[in-house]
Amino acid sequence: MSRVFSMPRHGLTSGLLILGLVLIPMPLWAEDAAEAWLEQMSKAMAGLNYEGELVYQHGDQIKVLQLIHTVRQGRERERLISLNGVPREVIRDQDAVRCVRPSSQAVSVDRRGGSGYGFPSLQPLTAHELGRVYRMRLAGQGGQARVAGRLARRLDIQPLDGYRYGHRLYLDEEYRLPLKQEVLDHQGQRVSLIMYSRIKVDPGLPFEASQASPLSKDFSLIEYRPRQKVDGEQPEAWGLSRLPPGFHISHRDFRQDEGGISMEHLVLSDGLASVSLYLEPARPDNHFDGPSRLGAVSIHGRRLQDRQILVIGEVPQVTTRFIAEAVELR
């Protein structure tokens, strides 16, 4: 998978102390109600046809997107169109993620398949999985707000340790769709925001509305296919000695870029936050050691013998460092 970001590119103990002060007990009904709304949200994101415009802010960057989500006979497809900056479309379905870049007349296709529909940073969530590392609370009547002209209820997801951020969701009172999401650090400061400015649930929205714009024959195709391991192939020559609490390996694949350079990609998730780990041969042009940040995204690089390790995710820097330092060669 291509990785494009700019480079010039803390303490865990203090974060845990702060968490201990702010995570006060809450009524059980608030937790039960939060779990019910969370399950309903996941079903709404997957099962409804809807279209809208949303704003994504992280760091000093602001992106405006149009999102179209359609479903037919249980098959989902989603189309994201950038409305500012460099023109781009992303189409996700269960088979692939396609990125159309009109400015470079290129289409990249990742055959790993899409996951997480309806909101760019949210994946289908299960209350049982999240309950191990987060505390959830549905706000009462005082937690109502208007988002995109619709009435929404606030759902707070607070981390139980310093390895993940907190989340504040505003769910549509009628449909339970997420209308706004704030990601909060351990001081309660917002590090990123996604919010609809307009949204319409439309049962009659045609499935074709989520397909890509017509392309000319001049567009080039870049296809990424995970390399399948063959019988008898030796096990990976590296692994993770440990994982941050609550995280598990949700995906692993092997691929080659256009230059034939092999790359291994690992995704770790706690059910809400996800972190990508890339491992490739070390070269003079990809040397990167230590931490960096890009808005709300933490990055940590490490050289390990002849390998370059890069860990990226919307998590605290202690988490990306933990994962990078856990890589060991066998």
pLDDT tens digit sequence for 83-132? 999 999 999 998 888 899 888 888 888 876 555 555 655 666 677 788 89
Residue 5: pLDDT over 50: no
Summarised one tens digit per residue, pLDDT across range 220-262 is 877 766 655 544 444 567 899 999 999 999 988 887 666 666 7
- Tell me 73's DSSP state: T
Q: What is the DSSP string of 24-68?
A: ----HHHHHHHHHHHHHHHHHHHH--EEEEEEEEETTEEEEEEEE
Better pLDDT: 77 or 3: 77
Q: How far is CA 98 from CA 34, 106, 170, 202, in A?
A: 34, 10, 29, 24
- Both tokens of 304, joined, read 């390990």
| Phi, psi dihedral angles at 199 (to 5 degrees) | -150, 145
Summarised one tens digit per residue, pLDDT across range 159-182 is 999 999 999 999 999 999 999 999
CA distance 170 to 152: 5
- What are the structural domains, with CATH classification, of the chain? 12-210 (2.50.20.10), 230-329 (3.30.200.100)
Summarised one tens digit per residue, pLDDT across range 141-153 is 778 999 999 999 9
CA distance 94 to 76: 7
Summarised one tens digit per residue, pLDDT across range 44-67 is 999 999 999 999 998 888 999 999
Rounded to an integer, the average pLDDT of 273-299 is 91
CA distance 300 to 309: 8
